[in-house]
Amino acid sequence: MNALVQKSTASLDALKRIHPLMPWFASFVLLLPLPLLALNDYQIYLLNVICIMIILATGLNIVKGFCGQVTVGHVALYAIGAYTSGVLSVKFGVPFWFCLPAAIAVTMLAGALVGIPSFRLEGAYLALATLGFAQSVEIYIRVTNYLGSASGLGGIAPPSIGNFVFYDYFRYYYLVMPFMLIAVYASFAILRSATGRAFMAVREDALSAAATGVNVRRYKLIAFMLSAVYAGLAGSLFAHMVPGYVHPNNFTVIEMVTLLLMVVLGGIGNIWGGIIGAILVTIIADLTRDFYFYQLLMFGLVIVGTVLFMPKGIGGIIDRYFVSKRFVAAREKTAEQKRAEAAAAKSGES
Amino acid sequence: MLYDFLIVGLSIGILYGLVALGISLIYSGLDIVHFAHGEIFMFGAFFGLVLYDEAGFNYPITLFVAMILAGIMGVIIERVFYRRLTSQGGGYTVAGMGMIICGFGMAIILQNIAFLIWGANGRPMHVNFGMPVELGTITLPQSYVWILVVSVALMAVLHLFLKHTKLGLAIRAVAANKDIAYLMGVNVPLMISLIFGVACALAAAGGVLIAPINYVQVEMGYLMLIKAFAAAVVGGFGSLPGAILGGLMVGVFETLGAAYISGSHKDIYAFLLLIFVLMVRPTGLLGVAAKVKA
């Protein structure tokens, strides 16, 4: 196990030395043949869903993990993205490549609207306000005839490039997967940038961040808008996936809980954790489909259990593993140095 | 017509006030928002249903027993789950985010336990209150009279308890400053459990009172939480009279909106009012000063 980890980190470092983007390219190449390994169409569909969920969870991590704003209404932004894309495609016949930016723009505006209350609200206030927002969006979609109300919005055209139409799950994977990689890369880039540092300053202590010259309101708003961009992207990708059908049932409390579970289980503020959480939860949710009645109960128990006993999530465990490894390595290094010094001193004496 | 809507709005509103009172009480005592409070309300309604329809108690006894049961439930939840988190200290940074997420998870758990026990279908509570009361031109079903009378009585009792008993004084001391209350010999953990118990009992009373006019169903707690929270914020968070005032406002606003604008969007109005108040006057109507924390 240790040797394996060492080898993979070493090869990653080697790739990074060639070009900083090399590891991402390598993972792209590695992910390319994945649908060929799938046993049936359903598993390819799951792969697509996992990619969309990774985009969503990564976006949620920006506002929740980096910036420390508790929002539970992320699923509403996802719904807004999906419905904007769907309505543009169905009612106006706009092709996917225009629907996607439009959906992202509209969701970004909605994200800004959610973000504005965060100037004045913190913690639980914000959580409840966003919960109310999510609930209102779902109810609004359910009762508005223009949006298909309770019967859903169907007939959303699949995307195409020239004559190449992404009409089945296998082809769609090659659309979703690159978007997912770009999204994950972008979130790492944000975390490393000055904006990311400002987010973390706001998270740790808004007051001292403001005292050191971080415009707290601006960065809170930026965090909300960025995560909304992710939600809009995920929503649009979801809406255009075969069979091109969105329904209010896709954006209910269940999805809200699943999304929250992904981020919490993976570790809040940990990008890799969020990704692992998204993969794990999607697969587990699928495996336990037969126990549908108990699923939410189980998810709730896991959320509470994670918060109580493993507050840093899976990502925290992985982090600790690497940190302790580095710590052990550093200790061995100093011990070796001391031994060498002692040996040198001994030879000097004699 | 307008008076009918007003009466309906006021009686629904006072229920929102009752639940909001619990949320405000917990908030002022512990600096946390109890996310599973709507589910306690739902459990209270189900306790009432079981006690009245299946065990055959009469209505006042049902109300009383359901309140006690829900209070015990609240104490257990606080002792088993929240105690761990509050004892780790609770700022609202990422560490304190745990409290909110834990509450949210708790709400999901309780909702699904109720779903597994009682199923997803809404059930009516068949209470025969007798003839409606005539007040001039308005006829008022007795269930609304019960709601108004019981709610006001409960609020009065709570007020007397908090302001005129030694236990109430201890609770207020805990709300003001836990460390100093500890030094003065107040049993702070016990008081916190007591706060939780009283708040949950109030929510359960709301549930039993609404059961005769609405169907009792698993999903009723969720919207109640949002509306009661809206009521608490509109009135000023942490302020007990504010919670009642906010509840009345939300109830009237919602009923009038449903009557004159659009009935199918009824559940959105409370949220609109919440956002409006947060934008214009985040301290609420009776709030003293905005608490930055929480």
Domain count of the fold of chain B: 1
| Residue B288 within any structural domain of the chain | no
Give residue B243's domain range.
2-280
pLDDT > 70? residue A331: yes
User: Is B150 within the bounds of a domain?
Assistant: yes
Confirm or reject contact between A304 and chain B (CB < 8 A).
yes
Q: Is residue B42 part of a domain?
A: yes
Cβ atoms of residues B20 and B243 within 8 Å: yes
Tokens 């997912």: give the residue: A180
Q: Chain A: nearest CA to B31, how far in angstroms?
A: 10
| pLDDT confidence tier of residue B131, bands split at 50, 70 and 90 | confident
Nearest residue to A83 (alpha-carbon basis) of A225, A307, A250, A242: A250
What's the token pair of residue B198?
Answer: 């009283």
Is the CB of A131 inside 8 Å of chain B's CB atoms?
yes
Neighbours of B258 (CB within 10 A): 18
Question: Number of C-alpha atoms within 13 angstroms, CB side, residue B213?
Answer: 16
Contact between A203 and B94 using a beta-carbon 8 Å cutoff: yes
How confident is the model at residue B218, as a pLDDT? 84
> Which pLDDT belongs to residue A43?
87
Average pLDDT of B253-276?
81
Q: What is the ipTM of this complex?
A: 0.77
Structural domain spans, chain A:
1-31, 41-349
Average pLDDT (A164-189) is 88
Among A187-196, B155-164, B261-270, B277-286, name the one with the lowest average pLDDT: B277-286
Q: Contact A304/B279, CB-based, under 8 Å?
A: no
The set of residues, in sequence order, having a beta carbon less than 8 Å from that of A164 and lying 6+ positions away, is: A171
Residue A193: how many other CB atoms lie within 10 Å: 11
Max intra-chain CA distance, chain A: 95
Within 13 Å of residue B224, how many CA atoms lie on the same side as its CB? 36
Check residue B290 and give its pLDDT: 42
Q: Which of B109, B265, B268 sits opposite A301 (nearest CB)?
A: B109
Predicted confidence (pLDDT) per residue in B81-101, tens digit: 887 776 665 444 445 677 778
B93 and A296 within 8 Å at the Cβ level: the answer is no
Residues in chain B closer than 8 A to A138 (CB atoms): none
For chain B, what is the radius of gyration of the CA atoms? Answer: 19
Instruction: Give residue B96's pLDDT.
Output: 60
Reported as a single tens digit per residue, the pLDDT across B227-239 is 888 888 888 777 7
| Weakest-pLDDT range from A120-129, B44-53, B138-147 | A120-129
Q: Do B105 and A304 touch (CB under 8 A)?
A: yes
The answer to the question of residue B292 being in a domain is: no
Lowest mean pLDDT across B3-17, B30-44, B95-109, B277-291? B277-291
Q: What is the pLDDT of residue A40?
A: 85
CATH number at residue B130: 1.10.3470
- Per residue in A50-93, pLDDT (tens digit) is 999 999 999 998 888 888 888 888 899 999 999 999 999 888 88
pLDDT at A234: 93
Record: contact A120-B278, CB cut-off 8 A = yes
Nearest to A117 among B33, B278, B294 (CB): B278
pLDDT in tens, A99-152: 999 999 999 999 998 888 777 776 677 787 788 888 888 888 888 888 877 788
Chain mean pLDDT for chain A: 85
- The DSSP annotation for A257-300 comes to HHHHHHHHHH-TT-HHHHHHHHHHHHHHHHHTGGGHHHHHHHHH
How many angstroms separate the CA of residue B213 from the nearest CA in chain A?
22
Question: Average pLDDT, whole number, for chain B?
Answer: 82
Percent of chain B topping pLDDT 90: 14
Ramachandran region, residue A313 (left: φ > 0; alpha: ψ -120 to 50; beta: rest):
left
- Residues in chain A, total: 350
Look at domain A41-349 and name its CATH class. Answer: mainly alpha
**Which of the residues A61, A69, A70, A298 would you substitute to probe the B interface, choosing the one with the greatest number of B C-beta atoms within 10 Å?**
A70
Mean pLDDT of the region A212-240: 91
Q: Is A139 touching B (CB cutoff 8 A)? A: yes
Cβ of A68 and B278 within 8 Å? no
Amino acid B243: pLDDT? 86
Q: Does A65 touch chain B (CB under 8 A)?
A: yes
- Reading the block at residue A164, the tokens are 């190449």
